[in-house]
Copies of this chain bind each other. A is one copy, B any other.
Amino acid sequence: MHNIDDVETEETLTCLRITVHHPLHEIKNVFQLIHFNKREKHMVEDPLKVGRDTKSCHISLYDLRVSRVQFSIQAFRHFNSSKLFFEIKNLSKKGKLIVNNRELEHLNKVELPKKALVRFAEFQLLVEKEDGESTESFDTFFELARTPPWQEILCAPSMSPIPETGILINACTVPQQCSLQTPVEMEECELK
């Protein structure tokens, strides 16, 4: 056992809380390879790959509509900042990736905001960043959502004030053509 004097000062880790949803998850068991409610550590240097291929992906989704490698999330640091930020890149040649209101084609990438709704095939992932101190590694923490996360976002009062002019790009604005197969009332939601 280490003497506590010899151990390096413990740093808190930035955590990506990822709340996942799939309308048929109970039937198709698409999340069978995900370890829910458990912090998992990742080195900042390695892109976190999400897709169907269990060999090359850190996070595997058991669904034929998902590409072998669907997307990656990568840590980086802005100049003169010690905080970790993340970028998401679409690695699928066939499928679009929608991050909040933005459609990403193959090799398009965007910086993840503090709270982002990521959608592809019938999947919805709400990715929320909790800042930590370490710049060596970060955690992921997966939770399962029974209802689509974007509905929860819609219900949260005044989370996304609608500007009088300009385009609102946030998790609330779910374009209809990109929404799930299950029809949902969109009245309160600004359509694209």
Contact = CB atoms under 8 A, between A and B. Distances in A.
Contacts of A69: 45
Interface in A48-97: 69, 72, 75-79, 84, 89, 91, 93
A80 to B, nearest CB: 9
- Kindly state the interface size class of chain A when it binds its partner: 20 to 34
A33 interface: no
A76 B44 contact: no
Interface in A114-149: 135-136
Contacts of A45: 69, 72, 91
Interface of A: 44-45, 47, 69, 72, 75-79, 84, 89, 91, 93, 105-109, 135-136
